[in-house]
Structure 1
Amino acid sequence: MNTEINLVDIRAFVVIAEQRNFTLAAEVLGGSRSHLSKQLLSLETFLGVSLIIRTTRTQRLTEQGESFLLQCQQALQQIDLAVATTVESAEQLKGNIYINCVGGVIGEEIVVQLVNDFIQLYPDITVDLDFSSQRVDLIEDHFDAVFRMGELADSGLIARKLMDIKNCTLASPEYLAQYGHPTHPNQLNKFACIVGSINHWRFEKVGSAKESIEVAIKGNFRCKNGRAMKVSALAGNGIVRLPYLYCPEEIRANQLVEVFTDWHIPDTPFYVLYHKDKFQPERLKKFIQFTHEKFKTYLPDL
């Protein structure tokens, strides 16, 4: 038996039964009498029963038709309610937004401040902010938006670039005084480095993106937390690669100094990613718009 019943035919039957007249039903549905008759016949053929007895003068429901009508009316009311609730939920500025973000200064200070200002502006919207560092899948992990650093693979997501993060190669003056000062990145393998999530550092010649080098580094301290890496560098444990955002005061105070003058680590792009969805809920549209317009106002004065 074919189980793919046509919902449009069911709606037509309900209207015909409620109006008790094909002409009136056709006016309600904006169709023709002949088309409604074909829809009713198609439904009866599918069910294998007569739902409405009709003559040239009158029509009446069969016993099966009366029972079917009652159940269809209840089911259609539930469907209409579900549709209305879904549309209302999507259009209203309420509900929850699930966000994944890198941690550290960017996530824990900049993005947190942005999110808090957003929910103050829209108090009926709630935000779940997750700092899991692993690469998440927006669909499988049920996130609406993700903040990410670095170049992105073509994932089919929409990516809005928010800023370029300046990176530094730093060390304490005490470490350099004790162990010497490298003059070229290829000398880093002779020095202790503080290692984060990347153990190959790419450098470009200042003023020439075409001249670049990638160096494998090693060290006695490995940690994926930028603040911990900064503390280790301040303690004189080695050379560190950090975003400038993490240590502007330490650089100004000469507690950490740039290791190279002729070489630099390329800037890291920072994005907000979200689904390519033309039916995006209004709450998420507002958050993406707010983030795009306001993000740079939360950056510290560097």
Structure 2
Amino acid sequence: MAKIVKFKKYGGPEVLEFEDIEVASPASREVRISVKAIGLNRAESMWRTGVYVEPVNLPGRLGYEISGVVDAIGSEVTHVAVGDVVSTMPSFSMNDYGMYGELVLAPAHSVVKHTDDISFEDAVAIWNVFITPYAAFVEGNRVKAGNTVLIPAASSGVGIGAIQVANMIGAVPIALTRTGAKKAELLAIGASHVIATDEEDMVAEVMRLTDGKGADFAFDPVGGPNFPKLVAGTAVGGTILIYGALSNDVTPLPMLEVLAKRITIHGYNLFTTTTTPELQKAAVEFVLGGLAQGKLKTLIAQRFKFADIVEAHRVLEKNQHVGRLVVEV
């Protein structure tokens, strides 16, 4: 028997509950993993509250990223073996698999083998954090060396990853954060500039930092009422890539400015990369290479015990941390 986390109705962190289940043997293309650590994503909070990109088949499980040791493999699995140190990346629906548990089944395509010099905690702070900006910036050569990139919600896990990936390819990351409280940390992480959007005129600052041109690229997980400011701060011919919807408010679209400046707005998620074998392979090589070179570094804000998963979700929703929240199993 193994303990897993599930929820029977939408709601706050308190709807999460533990259940002891017998975990089945893996199907032909599945891997069973003894979990050592779980990385929390805001997507899981949205899933729990019913505001994600797909509805939950209640009662629901949740969780994308875990690390651990392979316990059993399906008959068609060849890239990992029992005893291997592995982690999982977001590449499946949480209606099909949930990674919050002591022993879990994962689709084989989501499982990555790596050396044990990457700690279990660090292993759950690399895939969503770094592949999300990698696929956005590097695939298709969207962001080039010298380009200026606006990064809203810069203190989030993916925001911190975006700062580092931008630096790795020679771009100039401008971190956007609500107040100046996290400014020193964001600069230490590698932001070229930090703008406290509740305290400064964001558009004026962007224009000052770019000599009146505006940013070449904006990487937005928020949307909401401040979206027109991103448009105003984006250069003529620039691109805004939207990869999240953290704001619950309506997102206005200033049509005339978008048309006048010929701005391209893309909706984006990392699943095309993580579910396409050749793209996933390139992404994994980029991330592991960046880690080995010291150009990409994990940042863990806080650790929790598995029994404290509800409290971990409460902290996740406060948005006061810098970096990744990790649950030790």
TM over 0.5: no
Bin for the TM-score computed over the shorter chain: under 0.3
Say which structure, 1 or 2, has more relative contact order (CA 8 Å, 6+ apart).
1
Please identify which structure carries the higher helix content. Answer: 1
Q: Which has the larger radius of gyration?
A: 1
